[in-house]
Amino acid sequence: MFDLLPHILNGLTLGLLFALIALGFMLIVGLMEQINLAHGSLFALGAYFAMQLMGPRPPFPADLAQSWLALPLGWRYAATLILAPAAVGLVGIAIEFCMRRTYGKDPLYGLLLTFGAAMVIEEMIRLTWGTRDYVLQVPQAVNGGFIFGDLIWSTYRFYAAGIAVAVIGLVWLLIEKTSFGATVKAGAHDSEIVRALGINLTRLRLLVFVFGTMLAAIAGIIVAPIWGIRPHMGVDAVIPAFLVIVLGGVGSFWGAVVAGLLVGLAVGLSGAYASEWSLLSMYVLLVAVVTFRARGLWGKKSMLEA
Amino acid sequence: MIPTPQSDSARLITPTMLVLWLVLATVPFWIARVGLYPYLGIEILIWSLYALAFNLVLGTAGLPSFGHGAYFGIGAYAFGLCQFNVVANLWVCLAAAFAVAGLAGALVALFISHRRGIYYAFMTIAFGQIFWTVAIKSHKVTGGEDGLLKIARLPADFGFASFDLAGNVAFYYFVLMVFGIAVIALWRLVHSPYGRVIAAIKQSETRAAHLGYNVWLYKASIFALSAAVSGFAGGLFAMAQLAAFPDVMSLHQSGYVVMMTLVGGGLVSFWGPVIGVFLFLIARDVIGAMTNAWMLYFGLLFIAVVLFRPEGVAGAIMAAWQNRSLNSMRQQGGTALRLLFGGGRWR
């Protein structure tokens, strides 16, 4: 049994990362009933922006770049965790402005629109940074490994899992415990009443969408040191994100988190026995669940399936 | 006099088909002169067949399937494996491509036909990914990422005469012949009583069920049939490429066929997918020759189509042709799109 422990731990940390990746996707699906297929590309964009900011040639004017590079690595990393998602948020604004035309119509419009946007962003990444792999520098404090029970553990994985827990917790607090969250949920539930109460729904939707894209970027920055940075990373992220949402059930916050953990465990444990096939396990898991439970684990009735 | 769609739908061969075939039959004579090459013609025909088969599910039945590349790829592998392990006969191997892909489709249909909307869409993606992973990882059977190589273009034996298809022009005419027969079959299928029930299910599953139709069986059978024809096209593609690669089964490539079908206008027209394939592959070669980033421009075009022209190119042409307002066409396109994810409820 103890042999399995590393794989279970590995699966759990991976699961938290899946949940983190799915978080922004879930917000936009749950609160706006829109499927944002560009989620993966925004995730990749976050990682690329962070890589550029942390790298030797930051995108600033010469004198500012000098003082930026003079900062300690840890400070730069902390600032990057804010700056890169903010930049991705700007891209999110542009997508939302296009997407506006599709509100009130079928969600498939949004899905196709964001599919196109994903293609465009991925192509732009290829044009700007080429197809080679990059590495994101991280501060020494979270890098390296430690020995526990005769095994070497990667510090970064635990740091990443910790960040995932923190971000998931903060988002839950924001949605469930603040008046902003209440308004947003009400807007998703009955837009007419919310408008009648004098709330600017257009701005509210923009905020939710941009928040979702920024979460995608944060996930990208956190996951980048583990998966590496390459143009394809967007697709590698959006499929598990989509899968986690469908498995957990559309509209269920904890459903998505549990689904993320389940997917992580499935991938981690199957990786222990047949590493070649470990990615297959998440699809098998999905098929097994959705065949018997029409709306995933705890899905609510939604426009997306009507 | 311009024929109305009503009279066309009763025909075995429509004027549009005749014109299309005649134009396509001349392609080898001029394609090299406009700077393109005969192989492109083959590719366009095969992808057109694939997109038409795909549109049985997307356009005719209104079911969002985003993992269709799997069946195209399975057909290609089945063709190659049949050639190597069973018998090197063109007809047998093409039949195998049709049957194996159809079986795979039927198997998947068992799991998904009671689902709708986003869950249906994602189940098709999941199965597509499963088949793709299996194709990549089963090195011994499929050759893994290197692909199944050395597939031969088997001679077409008609009993009284046998044709060698090794040359691109001979193969082009063979594919054109097969394409012609397949188009007639699909046209009849879509306009048969069976096809009408499928269209009714697209409009409202509930209504069709209340009229006594077994909705599940219709949804499952159209999916399996579409997979089988896609696999058949895949078999031809294996011959064209002289190999079968897992690439076509990836999510990206499955997305391309969705894009082609939608840009062409598959939701409002039988011919939409064909128009989309023409645009996509020619754009790939023409824009691709000028810039590496042709996908960027095609992506932007796709966004514009989704935002401003949901009826696609075919819709715009039909509107002009039939002197109907573009607006009514657009509404039709919009409704068709809405039904895809509305899962059969008029809103």
Structure tokens at A268: 């981690």
Tell me the pLDDT tens digit for each residue of B266-306.
888 899 999 999 989 988 888 888 887 888 888 898 888 88
Query: Would residue B16 count as lying in a domain?
Result: yes
Ranges of residues in chain A with a pLDDT under 70 are: 1-2, 301-306
Structure tokens at B145: 């990422």
Name the residue of chain A whose CA is nearest to B342's CA: A306
Query: Would residue B156 count as lying in a domain?
Result: yes
Is B306:A99 a contact under the CB 8 Å cutoff? Answer: no
Query: Would residue B52 count as lying in a domain?
Result: yes
Look at the block and give the residue holding tokens 């819709």: B315
Cβ contact A98–B303 (<8 Å): yes
At A1 the pLDDT is 52
At A223 the pLDDT is 93
Structure tokens at B178: 């097969």
Q: How many CB atoms lie within 10 A of CB A303?
A: 17
Cβ contact B299–A119 (<8 Å): yes
Query: Would residue B145 count as lying in a domain?
Result: yes
Q: Domain count of chain B? A: 1
Query: Would residue B345 count as lying in a domain?
Result: no
At B50 the pLDDT is 97
Ranges of residues in chain B with a pLDDT under 70 are: 1-7, 322-347
Is B81:B141 a contact under the CB 8 Å cutoff? Answer: yes
At A260 the pLDDT is 94
The end-to-end CA distance of chain B, in Å, is 37
At B346 the pLDDT is 33
Phi then psi dihedrals of residue B156, to 5 deg: -90, 110
Query: Would residue B344 count as lying in a domain?
Result: no
Kind plus residue range of the DSSP H or E element containing B157? strand B156-157
Chain B residues contacting A via beta carbons under 8 Å: 64, 111, 114-119, 122-123, 125-127, 129-130, 133-134, 137, 251-252, 255, 258-259, 262, 292-293, 295-296, 298-300, 302-303, 306-307, 310, 334, 337-343, 345
Query: Would residue B262 count as lying in a domain?
Result: no
At B243 the pLDDT is 92
Query: Would residue B303 count as lying in a domain?
Result: no
Q: How many CB atoms lie within 10 A of CB B146?
A: 11
Amino acid present at B214: N
**Domain limits of chain A?**
2-292
At A86 the pLDDT is 96
Q: Which domain holds residue B242?
A: 5-250
Q: Which of A37, A114, A115, A131 to mutate against chain B (most B CBs within 10 Å)?
A: A115
CATH C-level class of A2-292: mainly alpha
